[in-house]
Structure 1
Amino acid sequence: MKVVIFFVALFVFAYAQEDAEEVDEVQQTPRCNSGDTFFNGTLTTNEKPTNCSAAHSTCQTKLEVGPDSYRIYRQCQSAEACENNQKSNPQQCYSEEAEEKQEKVCHFCCRGDFCNDGSEIDVVLPVSDDFADEDVDEEV
């Protein structure tokens, strides 16, 4: 009888561990800012919070910067795809060529709820003369 109780207890323990792992996996999927922000003299945005899936466990920010405008795209992304996108930053975002052309495409990846709030962007963004007198931070 003790052997049966032991195996029942072992089964219950193993099942409980499996449920705990599923809960941990669910809790590890972040909530990201999602949507677009455009600036071309006038700032427009349609961002909203989004619950990410397990397959898209990373928050990504894509930034396109021109001489007097920028576009910011925020979304949930798979970790692998985001990291692959981010690998292009040395050439497309930080290179002398990107600076000279005044055209940059930058990708930023982060994990954690709403981590793609703009604090991860380390690129100076253009600001309109209309906003120059106001207290506007050029980095988003």
Structure 2
Amino acid sequence: MECTLSNESPPVLRVSDEDLEPGEGDQMTLDGQPFTGVTYCTYPDGQLSYELTMVNGLPKGLCREWHPNGQLSHEWIAQHGCGPDKLTTWHENGVLASVKRAELGVETEYNEWDESGQLQVHRVLEPGSTLHTLLLQLRERKARGPAG
């Protein structure tokens, strides 16, 4: 376990995922308390495999995964209870592989590129589609708040 400074203050606690234990529900704990900080895992050679920002024992904030060669593989902002608004992936050669954008867990746009950077897939949420209707309902529910 180590304590390092980030660009923000106060210092961020950074621990190996091996130091965390399951708590209630999906929570991860450190010394019996819900963990807030950054947890990470490494490949057998010591190369960083992933790091997750945790708040009160749950993923929340910047999360990243790396390919075994050290190239960034995935990046997203975790939000407990809902998929990320944006998920970006890269091929092992460093070329952008995909970008998925979502709102309230509904995919709104997706682009995918091959290893040479050529666009292979492009799709957007079509107005009037079943998923678009669902998104509109979710927006209304969110606007009403928890009591509505």
**TM-score normalised by length of structure 1:** 0.25
Q: Of the two structures, which has the highest relative contact order with CA contacts closer than 8 Å and spacing of 6 or more?
A: 1
User: Whose helix fraction is larger, Structure 1's or Structure 2's?
Assistant: 1
User: Whose strand fraction is larger, Structure 1's or Structure 2's?
Assistant: 2
**TM-score normalised by length of structure 2:** 0.24
Asked which structure has the greater CA Rg, the reply is: 1
